[in-house]
Every structure is written in C-alpha cells, then in structure tokens.
Amino acid sequence: MVRSSISFIAIALLLGCTSKQEIDLTEGYSKKVTYHKQLQKTEKTQLYQDNVTKVLLTGTYLYTPNFENNDIRDEVFIVGLYMEDKVSVALNSGGNTLTLNGKTAKEIKALRLDDERLKELSFVTPWSSYYLVTFAHESNKKITLSFESAAYGKGELHFAKVAKYVLTKEAL
C-alpha cells in the first residue's frame, strides 16, 4: 500500500511539472513557427578587405515544399545587403551582380524596413537594404546564390530544396 502511494505521488509530481513546462515550450514554439522555418532557410556570407567586413549578404529562401512532379514555381528570396562604404546599395548595379546558379534575376523589388515580410525573418538589421528577388525556376535540388562585387570579390550562399544532409554522402 505504501509502495503504491509513493509511486502514485511520484508520478503525479512528474506529470504536473512536466506538462506545465511542455505547454510553455509548445506555446513559445507555436508563436514563432514561421520564424523558425525561415531560419532554416537563411544563409549569410561576408566579403572582407584587410580583415574588415565590407559587405554582408543574407539570403532567405522562400521555398515551401510541393510534392507535385511538375513544380515550375519561380525561386524567390529575400536578400539583405549591407555595404560599409555605400549609403544606398543596389544589387545589380554599380559593379554588383546577383545570380542564381549563374542566371540573373527576373525581378528585383526593394523592400522597406517596415515590410511585413521582414518581420518573419531571423536576421534583419536597420543598416541593410532588403530586396525581394525572383529567379526563373531551377530544377536542381541544390542551388547557389552568388553575389559579386567589383570592389570586394565574390560570396556564395548555398541552399537546397530538400534537407541539406540528404544531398551529402558524408556520415553525420
């Protein structure tokens, strides 16, 4: 009898404490599901000159899986660009080029810092310029977003339409 009472009390204590923490964690995650999904599809690169960051490029791939065989949707990114010595920055002008697997963008639209789409991103800074960049459909599962600056060189952001570990042959 004593043994079953102690077991019952121990189980009640464990379940009571665990469920409250679990509920708090679940609620915290649920509020920011989109944020966490975008974080998984965000990459950054820096271009340096004399060990000083001159260009910071962030990219978030706005891809949602579609399991249709003939998925021909455009590839869409939100790209953030900070150049230390430039007041206003443009992606495809002034010696800068942005390509996806070697192809130029179909459309580049500047975003304001108060744009709703930026609120869901993980890495937004007030000193960067943000763009909604659309490229033609890529059938490859691995894609590379390349930024090249005439002054500072080239940086690449690597994205995948599937989990990146699926594309590697190395053991984890």
Kindly list the domain boundaries of the chain, sorted by start residue. Answer: 1-31, 35-167
Counting as low any pLDDT under 70, the low residues of the chain are 13-21, 28-39, 87-89, 164-172
Q: Report pLDDT for 4.
A: 80
DSSP 66-132: ---TT--PPEEEEEEEEETT-SS--TTSTTEEEEETTEE-SEEEEE-TT-HHHHT-S---TTSEEEE
CA proximity to 83, closest of 4, 6, 148, 171 = 148
Fold of 35-167: Immunoglobulin-like (2.60.40)
Q: Report pLDDT for 81.
A: 92
Q: What is the pLDDT of residues 33-47, one digit of tens each?
A: 666 666 678 899 999
Q: Report pLDDT for 8.
A: 76
Q: Report pLDDT for 172.
A: 47
Residue 136 Cα distances to 1, 61, 170, angstroms: 72, 14, 31
Q: Report pLDDT for 169.
A: 65
Q: Are 157 and 115 contacting, i.e. CB atoms less than 8 angstroms apart? A: no
